[in-house]
Amino acid sequence: MKDDLKNTVNNFPASPGVYLMKDSQERIIYVGKAKNLRARVRSYFLKDNPIKTKVLMSHVTVIDYIVTGNEYEALLLENNLIKRHSPRYNINLKDGKSYPVIRITADPFPRVFQTRTIIQDGSRYFGPYPGVSRLESYLELIEKLYPLRKCRSSSLKKREQPCLYHHIGRCAAVCAGKTSRDEYLRRVEKIESLLSGKTEALRREITEKMTAAGASLQFEKAAEYRDILAALDQMESEQRIVDFDPEVRDYIGYATGETFSAFVVFQMRQGNLLGSTTFHGELPGSEEENLVEFVLQFYSSTSRAPQKLYTSASLGDVAPLKRFFQEELSTEVDISPPGSTRDAAILRLCTENARQELERLQRARGDLPALEELARLLHLPAPPLRIEGFDIAQVGGHHTVASLVSFSRGVPDKSQYKRFRIKSLPDGAIDDFGAMREVLARRYSRVKNEKLPKPDLILIDGGKGQVSAARGILLALELPIPIVGLAKREEEIFLDDTKEPLRLPEGTPALRLLQHVRDEAHRFATTYRGSLQKKDALTSLLQAVPGIGPRRAARIMKAFPREESLLETPLDIIAKSTGISEDLAREIQNHLRKSREGS
């Protein structure tokens, strides 16, 4: 069948035109354009084509074509046919999601917070940012430097006493008359300057304070100012601000993988971010073809074009697109690479957002090609859709813990992660085999007794010894689950029924997946071990303070599990929260500071 199709394509004309790919039911599943129909359609039959092209061709039984007078006519016809037939493998402008920005409201006492919705009510917006965690770190820095109000209502209710946030320096307490409106608006102005990248004055101020603190031997305070300067460096290197350029500009970021392609559009109007939107699809075309198709589909649907258009990948010959904008939308559009640092930075951020959207799509879809390859290499009866990975972490035989991570369809399923404190080993004993036996016995005894779903594959971080220890437990439980070990040194795969390890070429999808499971198990175990170590260290420090015994230390730890929270919280709050006196709270803080200075 495919040979017949290929022979038919050999008779296509070497002319501009549009080709239509159809499935066995004569449905149009893909429409493309070409300067040379024969050459372009022939390329779909190459052996080294990407997976997404091979997936498309596996469904194609008929290829028709329409010859056009020139490339521009082909571009218009392709656009119209896609809109008319909505082919399965063309762009259909499925919306993904918008990206977070920082909003400063237009209230008399403005609020600062993150949002994904742009409301044209006089609020000012800064961003967008590629990730919520990064944005939250910026807001935390802002709150530390210039605390505003915490209450969310636009109208303020008068209070007799300020809230707890004011006592820890995180709220302006305007409701209790602690901050005047003039002072409040000065803080808002400084926040705008910070988000705009105007940080020279702030840097000078923080540097002077850090120097003064160091000179007066206030090393904790000096370190705090140092951390603020480091946070400013990080913020300036990553943040992007809505500017005040009146030009109408659009930025299109593009990312493509083995299956999906993702697009992100940032639209700037009169100096404000009008919005940021994502689109995605399973597109088998080249990077240039997919991007041109997207531009046509997007601006045909909006009927509004920008004055300037920047894209993260090449559009090839832009003359047909410029003609499209001019004749169809009556707009002269400048399509060119970014000419300024500002435009290049915004386009990079736009592209980063597209990359993250692509990763999200791939996580949701799973990594089926890697699972199929893994099943073939390990001689499994079917792709291992559920993989459970284990690792052991300890420091000199202390704080010995184990982790269980779970991957569904080749991507992490964090809702199924579990962690274990090893109970069978005496403190100080180093026995990774014994720890592995315990954690597998605990995990799979429960799986068997409670009839829980079994994984399709178990991965152990380690070599032959670890795999043998694990296999002994499963044999005792009569659970025939395949087990492999992945050793870090040579990245060798140890099977439980062969003597020689399996070695896969670096970059092989199956090896990448096993490495991901192994590294995630290692990260989860070491993070848990580190948290226990810190908790024990803080408990020991507290019990070294006269008047603090095990029970009182446990009560303090419950209210303030982190050393930093104990040092930053006012004495009266510590006293009220733990039932100790302010003098004892002061002793605790002094002891913790001395401990830090001595370390």
Burial letters 296-331, b for 16+ CB under 10 A, else e: bbbbbeeeebbebbbbbbebbebebbbebbeeeeeb
Q: What is the pTM of this model?
A: 0.47
Round to whole Å and give the CA distance between 426 and 445. 23
383-435 pLDDT, tens per residue? Answer: 899 999 999 999 888 889 999 999 988 888 888 999 999 999 888 788 889 99
Residues paired with 265 in a beta bridge = 252, 277
The one-letter code for the residue type at 197 is G
Which one, of 294, 365, 266, lies nearest residue 93 by Cα? Answer: 294
Residue 563 buriedness (CB in 10 A; 0-12 / 13-18 / 19+): middle
Residue range(s) of every CATH 3.30.420.10 domain in the chain: 249-365
Which element (helix H / strand E) includes 395?
strand 386-395
Segments in the chain below pLDDT 50: 94-96, 239-244
What CATH fold (topology level) applies to the domain 371-531?
A: Nucleotidyltransferase; domain 5 (3.30.420)
Which CATH topology does 2-81 take?
A: GIY-YIG endonuclease (3.40.1440)
Which residue from 435, 415, 404 is spatially nearest to 523, judged by alpha carbons? 404
Predicted local confidence at residue 239, as pLDDT: 46
Question: Which stretches within 63-199 are classed as H helix?
Answer: 71-85, 132-145, 164-167, 181-195
What's residue 240's pLDDT? 44
CATH code reported for the domain at 249-365: 3.30.420.10
**Residue 542: predicted pLDDT:** 87
Domain with CATH 1.10.150 in the chain: 544-598
Q: Quote the crossing angle between the two packed helices 132-145 and 181-195, to the nearest 10°.
A: 140
Long-range own/partner contacts, residues 589-598 (CB < 8 A, 24 or more apart): 591/541, 591/544, 591/545, 592/541, 592/563, 592/566, 592/567, 593/220, 593/567, 595/541, 596/220, 597/219, 597/220
pLDDT value, residue 129: 63
Sheet holding 112-115, edge to edge: 112-115, 101-104, 124-126
Domain boundaries 544-598, corresponding CATH code: 1.10.150
Residues of the chain with CATH 3.30.420.340: 371-531
Q: ∠248-249-253 over CA atoms, to 5°?
A: 155
**pLDDT tens track for 460-508:** 998 888 899 899 999 999 999 999 999 877 788 988 766 788 888 877 8
With 0-12 / 13-18 / 19 or more C-beta atoms within 10 angstroms meaning exposed / middle / buried, residue 257 is: middle
Contact 239, 126 (CB under 8 A): yes
Count the helix, strand and coil residues of the chain and give each as a percent rounded to the nearest 5.
Answer: 50, 20, 35
